[in-house]
Structure 1
């Protein structure tokens, strides 16, 4: 463990990182870079549970409100510009899109949620598809719930997290578009988000803040997801 210097009231002022931990972290960052540099190919889009691909590799699913920057983040992680399609029309993509990352990990791009103008029937269809996928996918290792840092958690995000809690799927909240807000505002939304997820049953405690534009947080997220891949040492 590293040494901690504390001020009045026990507040940690500085932390001296443990050299071994820093070496392990650097190694994981490099492992993430290598994994996400592998070929990533589109497998299929599933509009129903009967068209899901076979369970062969660990899977990570990406969820988020429409226009949260989900496609941009997946493209940034894989170093590609057009792997995941982006759309300016909320709710346009209503299927589960599967991508094979170097035969080590499957990335699942889930349909966006929270689009107010969507017909009731479309919302119900989305709910059945996503809920059925979450509950019946034994290889699903984690869901990444993307939250726009400019707005913080919305009720639709909370509904998604409640669905994941009920399905007993571990999920990790990732803030997006941090290049669009000031550092003080980012720290405030980080604190609020951490406070909320600390009370959630299936929430992963690590919150990662990212920007697909600047690359901030991308290496850290790659490293985190690499621990879930086939052949990972941890």
Structure 2
């Protein structure tokens, strides 16, 4: 994976370097919580990652932290059935949420995961933002809008991360971003900036790290 060097121009975002250093730390798996009763103690700011099964959440965690196998990847939809916590320093914890759109999961498990997710979103007071991952090739679908509705109702700040942007033709990318922007324009809890990323090329990750670093700075 290759990434462009952080912008060092005088007007560059100062959080580009802060974010780079934050995610260059030694990220480790902390815990896995199948239910709300066994969540780890709250510490610092939590940033959660949500998205459909196979949208690329595990790949994004690995690319974000520069670790090849911190989060396990799978071709089986619905493999992640727990809230997975990763941390490198006390200020920030990444939370990999169970994928939604569980095509192959039993209904009772889906309902249990949904209850856990809702309880987590409504009761985790140190949750700074949820980054909702959307496959750039497909855009925001009705199943994605359901989780956006849930976040709006829970008054939880969220932002859209477009994954696999390298698999969209460069000439089509502005339209993909415009369509996603229009879908969230009137949503109360949506953060206005959209983050196009590619775990294969590293595109967009300096900006995503900077946004998370800025969020941590604002919340602490």
TM-aligned CA deviation for residue 28 of structure 1 = 1.2
With over 3 angstroms needed to count, the CA separation of the structure-2 counterparts of 1:233 and 1:197, relative to structure 1, is closer
In structure 2, distance between residues paired with 1:61 and 1:32: 16
1:164 aligns with: 151
In structure 2, distance between residues paired with 1:233 and 1:126: 28
1:71 paired residue among 38, 49, 58: 58
Greater relative contact order (CA < 8 Å, ≥ 6 in sequence) = 2
In structure 2, distance between residues paired with 1:91 and 1:211: 22
1:25 aligns with: 12
Higher mean C-alpha displacement, 130-139 vs 176-185: 176-185
RMSD of aligned alpha carbons:
1.5
* SS of match in other structure, 1:93: coil
Maintained 8 Å contact 1:169/1:202: yes
In structure 2, distance between residues paired with 1:120 and 1:199: 32
Q: Is residue 177 from structure 1 mapped to residue 172 from structure 2 by the alignment?
A: no
Q: Is residue 110 from structure 1 mapped to residue 97 from structure 2 by the alignment?
A: yes
Is there any run of 5+ residues in structure 2 with no aligned partner, and where? 1-8
Which is higher, the Rg of structure 1 or of structure 2?
A: 1
Is there any run of 5+ residues in structure 1 with no aligned partner, and where? 1-21
TM-score (norm 1): 0.87
TM-score (norm 2): 0.92
Per-residue CA deviation, residues 9-58 of structure 1 (Å, 9 max, x unaligned), is: xxxxxxxxxxxxx6353421111101111111111000001000111210
Number of aligned positions between the proteins: 212
Q: Is residue 142 from structure 1 mapped to residue 126 from structure 2 by the alignment?
A: no
In structure 1, distance between residues paired with 2:213 and 2:52: 24
Maintained 8 Å contact 1:101/1:107: no
Question: Residues 144-223 of structure 1: matches in 2 within 5 Å?
Answer: 144-223=131-210
